[in-house]
Amino acid sequence: MRIGFIGLGNMGAPMAANLVKAGHAVTGYDVAAAAPEGVTRADSAAGAAKGAEVVITMLPNGAILKQVAAEVIPAMEPGAVLLDCSTVDVASAREVAAMAAGAGLGSLDAPVSGGVGGAAAGTLTFMVGGTPEAFATAKPLFDAMGRKAVHCGPAGNGQAAKICNNMILGVTMIATCEAFALADKLGLDRQAMFDVVSTSSGQSWSMNTYCPAPGVGPTSPADNGYRPGFAAELMLKDLRLSQAAAEGADADTPMGALAAALYARFVEEEDGRGRDFSAMLPRFEGRGRTSS
């Protein structure tokens, strides 16, 4: 397929490279990053979109997504599909879908799970909102960039699935880090803690797959000085999106709100920026019950 790819950063570049490896012709554009090997660089977002059957975007936020959509939609051919893989607010995703539909285009919001490692390995999971027809068109591309794509319903539902998933992740990571810090103070060996919890009712992805304790469980960013696989500031972004969505939907999410507040403090007032989101563990290690 002829693919336009806009946003060739840490996530977009390996995704575009995997499309090239799968035999697709990819023309890419980024305001700063270089195009990966095999990707033809365009001089504008509209230039990357011209003649493409599918235009993929991987962008920082909803405001930038809407700006790029306004530029590329007029350059796209009727019947082409605009496939956004960014993580943005639900309202922006639905606004862009309406813009695309008004121009005779298909559209999908398809945020990803799996981080930079999953993008490089081609093992991402895509949570997809949009029409079944657009999903069928993009399915070969999902297969090239990831190992699973779930059609979650109409426009915006991909973003809804992503923020609900990451709200759970943020809450469970905090609980896992709190539990390890408590175990330390109670004299419980971390390996023993892992062996019990990972096979008991407290198990979670945060414990079993992405354990925040160095030297315990499968290798994770904790074993690499908490260099980010998923940065704390990105978790904060997603938690804030979840709370904006909850406010708009009149949903009561007290644990999600508390997780957002804790990550905000960690990133904006402490040393969390540039560290993995699991670095909450050393944060809790150094704090007592009456810490400010």
Do 39 and 113 reside in the same domain of the chain? yes
Which tens digits make up the pLDDT trace of 172-226?
Answer: 999 999 999 999 999 999 999 999 999 999 999 999 999 999 999 999 999 999 9
Do 169 and 133 reside in the same domain of the chain? no
pTM (two decimals): 0.90
3-state secondary structure of 4: strand
Over residues 91-117, the mean pLDDT reads 95
What's the pLDDT score for residue 221? 96
Mean pLDDT of the chain: 96
Helix (H) or strand (E) holding 275: none
Chain-centre distance for alpha carbon 165:
10
Residues with Cβ within 8 Å of 26's Cβ and at least 6 positions away in sequence, in order, are 3, 4, 5, 16, 19, 20, 38, 39, 40
Which residue bears the tokens 């406010």?
247
Instruction: Please say which residue of 154, 181, 198 terminates a domain.
Output: 154
Do 145 and 17 reside in the same domain of the chain? yes
Do 107 and 69 reside in the same domain of the chain? yes
Q: How many domains does the chain have?
A: 2
Do 165 and 143 reside in the same domain of the chain? no
CA 153 – CA 51 distance, rounded (Å): 28
Do 125 and 199 reside in the same domain of the chain? no
Do 118 and 217 reside in the same domain of the chain? no
Residue 106 lies in a domain: yes
What's the pLDDT score for residue 234? 93
Looking at the chain, list the stretches that DSSP marks H as alpha helix, in order from N- to C-terminal side.
12-21, 45-49, 62-72, 90-102, 115-121, 132-145, 157-186, 190-197, 205-208, 232-249, 254-268, 280-285
Is residue 154 scored above 80 in pLDDT? yes
Residue 292 lies in a domain: no
Residue 253 lies in a domain: yes
3-state secondary structure of 170: helix
Is residue 291 scored above 90 in pLDDT? no
Do 232 and 118 reside in the same domain of the chain? no
What's the pLDDT score for residue 114? 87
Do 128 and 24 reside in the same domain of the chain? yes
Which residue bears the tokens 């990803």?
112
Over residues 51-73, the mean pLDDT reads 97
Residue 214 lies in a domain: yes
Residue 138 lies in a domain: yes
Do 169 and 102 reside in the same domain of the chain? no
Instruction: Please say which residue of 154, 188, 209 terminates a domain.
Output: 154
Which tens digits make up the pLDDT trace of 216-272?
Answer: 999 999 999 999 989 999 999 999 999 999 999 999 999 999 999 999 999 999 999
Residue 291 lies in a domain: no
Q: How far is CA 14 from CA 28, 184, 281, in A?
A: 12, 39, 30
Over residues 153-165, the mean pLDDT reads 96
Residue 233 lies in a domain: yes
What's the pLDDT score for residue 292? 61
Do 164 and 150 reside in the same domain of the chain? no
Looking at 8-131, list the stretches that DSSP marks H as alpha helix, in order from N- to C-terminal side.
12-21, 45-49, 62-72, 90-102, 115-121
Residues with Cβ within 8 Å of 154's Cβ and at least 6 positions away in sequence, in order, are 129, 130, 131
Helix axes 157-186, 90-102, angle to 10 degrees: 160
Is residue 141 scored above 70 in pLDDT? yes
CA 173 – CA 179 distance, rounded (Å): 10
Work out the angle at residue 179's Cα, subtended by the Cα atoms of residues 174 and 181, and round it to the nearest 5 degrees.
Answer: 95
- Report the CATH number at residue 203: 1.10.1040.10
Give 54's pLDDT tier (boundaries 50, 70, 90).
Answer: very high
Nearest Cα to Cα of residue 36 among 17, 20, 49: 17
Is residue 66 among the annotated active site residues? no
Residue 211, domain extent: 160-286
Is residue 120 scored above 90 in pLDDT? yes
Token pair recorded at residue 253: 């999410």
Most confident of 18-27, 116-125, 283-292: 18-27
Q: Kind of pairing, strands 124-130 and 106-109?
A: antiparallel
Query: To the nearest whole percent, how much of the chain has pLDDT over 90?
Result: 95
Nearest Cα to Cα of residue 81 among 133, 9, 7: 133
Do 168 and 149 reside in the same domain of the chain? no
3-state secondary structure of 155: coil
Residue 140 lies in a domain: yes
Residue of 21, 139, 162, 237 marked catalytic: 162
What's the pLDDT score for residue 190? 98
Is residue 60 scored above 80 in pLDDT? yes
- Report the CATH number at residue 54: 3.40.50.720
Q: How far is CA 4 from CA 32, 150, 214, in A?
A: 17, 22, 41
Instruction: Please say which residue of 154, 175, 202 terminates a domain.
Output: 154
Query: To the nearest whole percent, how much of the chain has pLDDT over 70?
Result: 100
Is residue 115 scored above 90 in pLDDT? no
